Amino acid sequence: MNVELKGIGNSSKSAISMRHMTKKRLLGKIAGKTVMWCILLFFLFYTLFPMIWLVISSFKTNVELFDNPFSLPKVWQFQNYKNAFQVSGLAVLFRNSIVISLCATAFNLFVASMAGFVLARQRFKLREAIFVLLISGILIPVNALMVPYYKIITQIKLYDSIFALILTYGAMGLPISVFLVRGFMKTIPWELEESATIDGCNFYQRFFKIILPLSKTGLITAGTFQFLLSWNEFIYAMLLTSSTSSRTIQLGIRYFSNQFTTDYTSMYAAIVISIIPSLTGYVLFQEQIISGLTSGAVKG
């Protein structure tokens, strides 16, 4: 009886200790998950807070904004969004930005992919020197090129046209795009190209049929950077255009900032509108962008 009791006692003890351990583990797991969620929520809040603040502020009056920057609006000012469209002609500028950014990205990738292919896959003298020369453009501040760009664009009669910005942005982004695309193309196994050559592929076929499709992820990464550059650029948009028909949304945002006064809340409304395409692009291409960033395109 005693033995039985003892046995029962032991098993119940071990059951209790197992339960205790399970409980402990469970508690540990819960604690671990709580910490993880706390950290995740902190970073989520940290990342989203400026955006939420911007959206809420875009519905306030300027007086409310200065009086208490973190309060909710007493009356939601949809008028700010109306102002954004009416005062600065945001609709046309928005359309121009989309056209310019997409075309500049296409132009940039077209050139960068060809340059990247030659610099990554062909062996010739001065290859590295040409590459260094090309990417050294990354180190040149954009302001330093204002006068030459302005002169070139006016000389070729493209002043105040969307083509002025397409060409300029496409060229400005080339150093970084060539750097990214070449880095990605270098990671593609040589055997693939050699097999293609054995199968009869010529130079162009190797580029268009083998290397270019395999570099898609790298191209999307470079394209994302280029699109963001074109979308957010302000200095050259201001310098090379003079009418609404060729200006971009960044100039529209600044339309609310005058010599002595700034209508911040209408400007915030314009900023919120301007963010939409970048967000949409990211949602559409997030898989490619993330895999491009993590699989070699930016590893050099």
Partner 1 sequence: MSKKVVLGMFAVVLVLTLLFSLTACGEKKVPAPDEAKQTEPSQKEVVINFPSIWVGKDSKANVFGSFVKEFNEKNAGKIKVVVEEMADYQAYRDKMKTNIAAGTVPDVFSFNNAKDSVLYYKSGNLMDLTPHMNGGWKEDFIADALKEVTYQDKIMAMPYEFAVTPLMYNKRLLDKAGVAEFPKTMDAFIEMAEKLKGQGVMAASQMTGENGWFSMLWYSHLLVAHGGPDVFDRGLDDPAFLEAAKSLKKLFQYTTGDAVGAGAAVAGGHFLSEKTAILVNGPWFIGRIEKEAAEGMYEQVNVAPAPTVAGGKGKQGYYVGFIQSSLAAAKQKDKAKEDAVAAFFKYISTPENVKRLSLDSGSLFVIKFKTDENDKMSHIQKQMIEQSSSAPSITKHFNAAMDTAVVTEFPQALSGMILGEFTPEQFVEQLKQKAAQ
Options 12-20, 116-124, 255-263, 291-299: segment touching partner 1 (CB under 8 A): 255-263
186 near partner 1 (CB under 8 A): no
231 binds partner 1 (CB under 8 A): no
Here's the x/- map for partner 1, 269-288, by CB under 8 A: it reads as ---------------xx---
Cβ-count burial of 150 within 10 angstroms (0-12 exposed, 13-18 middle, 19+ buried)?
middle
Q: Which of residues 40-59 bind partner 1 (CB under 8 A)?
A: none
Residue type, 180: L
When binding is defined by CB under 8 A, the residue of 24, 95, 127, 209 that contacts partner 1 is: 95
Q: Pick from 116, 165, 233, 263: which binds partner 1 (CB under 8 A)?
A: 263
Residue from 5, 36, 67, 110 touching partner 1 (CB under 8 A): that is 67
Taking the least distance from each CB to partner 1, the nearer of 185 and 270 is: 270
Beta carbon nearer to partner 1, 20 or 82: 82
* Closest separation in Å from C-beta 246 to partner 1: 6
Q: In this chain, which stretch among 74-82, 134-142, 192-200, 239-247 interacts with partner 1, using CB under 8 A?
A: 239-247
Among 98, 111, 130, 214, binds partner 1 (CB under 8 A): 98
Residue selected from 162, 167, 176, 210 as contacting partner 1 according to rule CB under 8 A:
162
